[in-house]
Structure formats: structure tokens, C-alpha cells
Amino acid sequence: MKYALVTGGSRGIGRAICVKLAQMGYAILINYINNTDEANLTLEQVRQAGQEGQLLRFDVSDNKQTKETLEAWIDSHPDDSVEVLVNNAGIRRDNILALMPEEDWSEVLDITLKGFFHTTRLLLPSMIRQKYGRVINMASVSGLRGMPGQSNYSAAKGGLIAATKALALEVARKRITVNAVAPGFIRTDMLEGLDEATLKKEIPANRLGTPEEVAELVGFLASPAAGYITGEVISINGGLYT
């Protein structure tokens, strides 16, 4: 069976990606950290799309947890492979740099950058053996241009973009593509506390994006049709250019 692993699949953009990849025929591994109820809702939607799914609870920033969970899955599924990996888990802890606690700097970078490292390192060997794979990293407009109050988040997403480009070169010959998606403002829990009217003034399309719109783009990058696109960062932001 062909699987897709979506980190942070319990809510928001990750949930929409799980459903899209299920519609494309993938069985889905839904990673999350806290919200089992929300993860179960995603699982229900994956099943409604006609596919199998499984919850995998681990903190992507924790090497031990990630390794134990994914190695146990790999060992118990000798005939299956993870063909698509979407590194989507992320958080924001906004603050001006002068007032930013060290843990807010570290947590944001660790979930994004160590998260990418931990999952991708474990799943690449089987993609290399199969000579096929798709790695899609969820970056952000903040990783392309500065956003005040987001030096930690911008550093994390900018680093993720750089890692995307480097890894793409390493594995291109193995028919594995590695791309990043850079959303603008998308209607999810992550925007909680931000004023929608103020955000809309900045967006030429005059609206927030939807998780489903991001999932369509990820679905295309995950498809065989996108096999000649690698090392790219694709923006999806309603015209909110850098």
C-alpha cells in the first residue's frame, strides 16, 4: 500500500492535505501532538474519502519520539511504503525580538527545522530504494520576506526553504522531488488573535485563503505530473507578494 505522512494533520491546512491526498488514492498517516479528538475527525474525513488512515502521535521536534514511532511503523509494514511526506507541523510564537523568551525562539525553530530533519531522514531511505518520492515542506510568506514580530518564525521558514533547495539537489537523480509551499494568510486556528479586517487590507485578493486551496497545490506537487518541479518554493497568497 502507498502511504502519505502529513505532520500536523489534525487541524487546519494539514487536515485539508490529508483529505486531498486520500482523494488521490493514498492511505494517510496523520501525525499530531495534542488534539486526539481533532485528529480523529481528520481520520473520519480520510475514511469518507475512501481511504485507510492511521493516527501517529509524536512531537516532530523530538528525535526519540519521532524515531521510535516511525521505525515501529516501518517494521510493522514491510510491504508498504511512505511515498509522500508533507512536513506541515508548525507553530508561531510572535514577539518582538527584544522581548522574545529563548524558549519561544527555540520551540518555533525546533518544530520546523528539527521536525523536517527527523521525519525526512527516516523516510528518505525507502524513497531512494523505490526511486520515487515526494517531500513537500510547509514554509510561509514570512520565510520569504520579513514580518515584524516573527523573527523566530521567519528564521524557521527561511531555513526550511534553504533545506528544501539543498535536499532537492541531493535526491533529484532518485526521482524524488523536494519542494516548499509558502502560504500567505490562511483561515486556520493559527490566525487566532489576528484582526481579519486588518489582514485583508494587505491582501490584494481581499480575503484569506482556505486550507483546501493550499491542499490543491500540495496535491499537485505530490502527483506524478509534477515530477520535473523540484527545489522550488511556490507561493499561495492572494497576491501578497514579497
Catalytic residues: 153
Tell me whether residue 40 or residue 130 sits nearer to ligand NAP (CB atom): 40
Phi, psi of 21 (to 5 degrees): -70, -30
Instruction: Give me the helices (H) in 5-150, please.
Output: 12-23, 36-48, 63-76, 102-109, 115-130
Give which of 113, 112, 103 is closest to 190, Cα–Cα. 112
* Binding flag, residue 102, ligand NAP (CB under 6 A): no
- How far apart (Å, rounded) are the C-alpha atoms in residues 130 and 84? 12
Alpha carbons 38 and 154: distance in angstroms, whole number:
27
With respect to ligand NAP, which residue has the nearer C-beta, 10 or 45?
10
Among 183, 215, 218, 222, which residue sits at the site for ligand NAP (rule: CB under 6 A)?
183
E-strand ranges in the chain read 2-6, 27-32, 53-57, 81-87, 133-138, 176-183, 233-236
188 forms part of the interface with ligand NAP (CB under 6 A) = yes
Question: What is the closest distance, in whole angstroms, from the C-beta atom of residue 72 to ligand NAP in the complex?
Answer: 17
Q: Among the candidate windows 78-86, 168-176, 188-196, 217-225, which touches ligand NAP by CB under 6 A?
A: 188-196
Using CB under 6 A, pick the residue from 89, 123, 124, 178 that binds ligand NAP: 89
Determine if 122 is a binding residue for ligand NAP (CB under 6 A): no
To the nearest whole angstrom, how small is the minimum distance from the Cβ of residue 153 to ligand NAP? 7
Using the rule CB under 6 A, is 151 a contact of ligand NAP? no
The residue within the footprint of ligand NAP, chosen from 19, 20, 28, 32 (CB under 6 A), is 32
> What are the cell numbers at 215?
491542499
Q: Residue 54 half-sphere exposure, CB side, CA atoms within 13 Å?
A: 14
Binding residues for ligand NAP (CB under 6 A): 7-8, 10-14, 31-35, 38, 59-61, 88-91, 111, 138, 140, 183, 185-186, 188-191
